[in-house]
Chains A and B, each alone.
Chain A
Amino acid sequence: MASPCVVLVDTNDAFLGAEVGEIVKTEALRIEAKFSRYRPSVVTHINETAGDALQVDDETADLIDYSMECYTLSEGLFDVTSGALRGAWKFDGSGRVPSEDQVRDALRHVGWSRVTWERPILRLQEGMEIDFGGIGKEYAVDRALALAAAHTRAPVLVNLGGDLRVSGPRQDATPWTIAIEDVDRVGSATGILELLSGALATSGDTHRFVRRPGVRYGHVLNPTTGWPIADAPRSVTVHAATCTEAGLLAKLALLQGARAEEFLKLEKVRAWCVR
């Protein structure tokens, strides 16, 4: 994770603060290492073994089950095998756009329907890859917070690069004050949020995109078509009970493109979008 991580503990006990910080850091690093796409990890092992069957551990199996559920509920929009589309879409700032054939080729290695999953045995087709990047960070927030909350009753806030969750209100039932960063001016706040419970997750499309006349294609790709979502909000921030849920809803909203706000309103999600 390249974004800053913060742990806040509402207590007078400095030692407790340090302990909780350590617990959160250990858990976050553990998850990052286990599901990293770059360094040797469970995920890289799965991707290298694509084409053959392999057995995964319980935690990975849980994440795969969850990914499959999200795939079904989103009717294919959320797909952890969509990473292979990077072969076609480079987003290197050149504004170059792949041809239909290139996209079609990349799509042949994408799609959860091509995966054989019978817990605990997983089998990807050759050339496919999985990537838990879309759910890993939020999962880490929830897991880390659970460990912290098991360790102390003091109110805790865990923030891993903007995805955060609180264990409850601060002492005296006052809310946590969260500053929302301005999308265009890093470092300056565009709004203040007062959080009593639950989690916040943000999904964004700001930095890498391709502009065509009248349409802005972000780097979020639709795994069923292989093409980017048009007119998605630049960022969607969602409030939900858990960070995992908030993160998924934010991504699903982004995947609705121009209809992001309607989707959020229909699902009665507390959220806000920036366009």
Chain B
Amino acid sequence: MKNSCRLYSPKRLTEGLDAPTRPAAVRHLGALFIGIAVFGSGGCTVLGAKPWEHDLLAERAMQVSAYPIEAGMDDHIYFSKEASSGGRSFAGGGCGCN
């Protein structure tokens, strides 16, 4: 019989939950540079996660706009020292410093 949840026997039971799964970091980094073709394929069920798998994505660190002030200040500094702009979002107010 395969126990996929841990059942302590006959020790004290404190947590009954699994150890976290091994991260698939290497696999994901390898796929990082997949071309644009994977996007926009309509009712694509290959990519994505089930609703109950959106847990990690809800964390602050995973938000695209996680630290808006920091991102805004970065954008402003680089805008005033370099010739490029744009990318993530609008600067939201010029400053004549470019």
Contacts and interface: CB of A to CB of B under 8 A. Distances in A.
Q: Do A and B bind each other?
A: yes
Nearest to B8: A191
Secondary structure class of chain A's binding surface, majority of residues: strand
Most A CB contacts (10 A, CB to CB) among B6, B18, B53 go to: B18
A189 B13 contact: no
Interface of A: 180, 183-184, 189-194, 233, 237, 239, 259, 261-266, 270-275
B12 A194 contact: yes
Contact of A191 (B1, B7, B18, B50): B7
B7 A270 contact: no
Contacts of B15: 270
A6 to B, nearest CB: 20
A261 B21 CA distance: 12
B17 A264 contact: yes
A189 B8 CA distance: 11
Given A191-B11, A239-B16, 19 more contacts: A189-B9, A190-B7, A191-B7, A192-B10, A192-B12, A192-B13, A194-B12, A233-B5, A259-B52, A261-B18, A262-B52, A266-B52, A266-B53, A270-B15, A271-B5, A271-B17, A272-B5, A272-B6, A275-B2
Given A189-B9, A266-B52, A275 B17 contact: no
Contacts of A183: 1
Contacts of A192: 8-13
B50 to A, nearest CB: 8
B59 interface: no
9 contacts: A184-B1, A189-B10, A191-B9, A192-B12, A261-B18, A264-B17, A272-B13, A274-B5, A275-B5
Contacts of B6: 272
Contacts of B52: 259, 262-263, 266
Contacts of A184: 1
A252 to B, nearest CB: 11
Contacts of B50: 259
A183 B2 CA distance: 12
B21 to A, nearest CB: 9
Contacts of B89: none
Contacts of B8: 191-192
B7 A272 contact: yes
B94 to A, nearest CB: 44
A27 B44 CA distance: 53
